[in-house]
Amino acid sequence: MPNSETDIADSPLPVQLSGASYIWQEKRGARDIDLSVRRSEVVTLLGPNGAGKSTILKMLSGEIAPQQGIVSIFGEPHGRDARRRIGLVLQEASTDDLMTVQETLQLHGQLFGLRGSELRRRCDQLLDALGLGDRTGDRCETLSGGLRRRLDIARALLHEPDLLLLDEPTLALDPDSSEAIWAALLDRVAAGVALVVCSNDTVEAETYAHRVVIVNDGRVVAEDTPRNLTSGLLPDALELDWPSATRDDIAELEGWTGVGTVLSTEDQLVLSVENSSEIVPQLFQRYGTQITGFRIRESSLREAWFQIVGRPLTNDHGAER
């Protein structure tokens, strides 16, 4: 965690949304969103694709104005000054294949009023920090997905924003790239920058977020620290590889003493349990031939999501906007 929660509480508010709504033509969107973000705070908007996270992010970035409610950035309505203080990372890597790494950053810097030696200094510093120092003259078409993402992050950090808005910044990246990106982001958080991250990755949210905002069907349904969100859960999560599990099996398991929620995904069941060492032998005694593998871990935001929303956190709710 970048900073203590006490430090964060005393900081001013880079973001405040009050009753903000934006509904797209196809009726998706975000409804009646209240959200505030402090300096040095990492807030993750957690939800499946199509939940409304990106719509919230677009209201924060100023791409769309709320149809109802208020968006305020550092105490002001959205405008040129607010955009100057925001760094935005989109869901997809947004680079031009024909431009080089250096040109990509320089163009962005020029759009933010940076020039000359100051622009060069910042470019060099960020490219080195993000492991792109030896690729400055290469065209973006030669970069891997992970390196393109690092370039996106470098671009968002180049003008030294006070608020970073990131849409799935590490989606589908290798661990090295994810770590490099989070290291750069947390460095800025330590310096007072506020981060709003859209994600459906519960592990990442639990690892890096000070606060998790659970978004479902366009609404905020819960909001708290990861610790508080998971505090009411049974302590262990039991992941069972069990492709042949039936509804009757699940119903039976839910009735067992010491078993809380049972999440069913494609080939897996995830049981929230009081004490895994007691449940595992019972499971194998009853269903041993059907279960092909199992893992025990601590209960996480994934189970908290299920408990709050009533269905597993998957990405089968349609296209994200």
Partner 1 sequence: MIDAAHASWALLSRDLRAVARSRSQLYSSLLFPLMLLALLGTGVSSGLAPTSPRILDGDYTSYLAPGMIAMTALFSSTFSSAGFYRDRESGLLRAMLASPHSAQTILFGKALGSILIGTIQALVVLLLAVLIPGIDLSWQFGWLGGVATVVITILALNFMLSGLSLLLAVRIKTMQGFHLIMNLVLFPLFFLSGAFFPLDEVPAWLEAIGYINPLTYAVDLLHYSSYADSPDGLIGPLIDGLVLGGLALLLFAVGLRRAPRAV
- Applying CB under 8 A, the residues found at the interface with partner 1 are 58, 61-64, 80-81, 83-84, 86, 88, 90-99, 103, 106-108, 110-113, 115, 155
* Count of beta carbons in the 10 Å neighbourhood of residue 172: 10
Q: Which amino acid is at 116?
A: G
The nearest distance, CB 28 to partner 1, in angstroms, is 15
The nearest distance, CB 109 to partner 1, in angstroms, is 9
Tell me whether residue 50 or residue 62 sits nearer to partner 1 (CB atom): 62
Contact 71, 63 (CB under 8 A): no
Tell me whether residue 28 or residue 155 sits nearer to partner 1 (CB atom): 155
The nearest distance, CB 63 to partner 1, in angstroms, is 4
The nearest distance, CB 78 to partner 1, in angstroms, is 10
| CA-wise closest residue to 210 among 223, 201, 200 | 223
Tell me whether residue 172 or residue 190 sits nearer to partner 1 (CB atom): 172
The nearest distance, CB 110 to partner 1, in angstroms, is 4
Residues 6 or more apart whose CB falls under 8 angstroms from that of 150 comprise 130, 131, 132, 177, 180, 181
Q: What is the rounded CA–CA span in Å between residue 67 and residue 64?
A: 9
Buried b (16+ CB within 10 A) or exposed e, 244-279: ebeeebbeebeeeeebbbbbbeeebbbbbbeebeeb
The nearest distance, CB 58 to partner 1, in angstroms, is 7
The nearest distance, CB 204 to partner 1, in angstroms, is 21
Question: Left (φ > 0), alpha (ψ -120 to 50) or beta: where does 96 sit?
Answer: beta
Tell me whether residue 160 or residue 267 sits nearer to partner 1 (CB atom): 160
The nearest distance, CB 252 to partner 1, in angstroms, is 48
- CA torsion, points 278, 283, 285, 286, in degrees to nearest 10? 140
Burial class, 294, CB count within 10 angstroms (exposed 0-12 / middle 13-18 / buried 19+):
middle
β-partners of residue 102 are none
Tell me whether residue 95 or residue 230 sits nearer to partner 1 (CB atom): 95
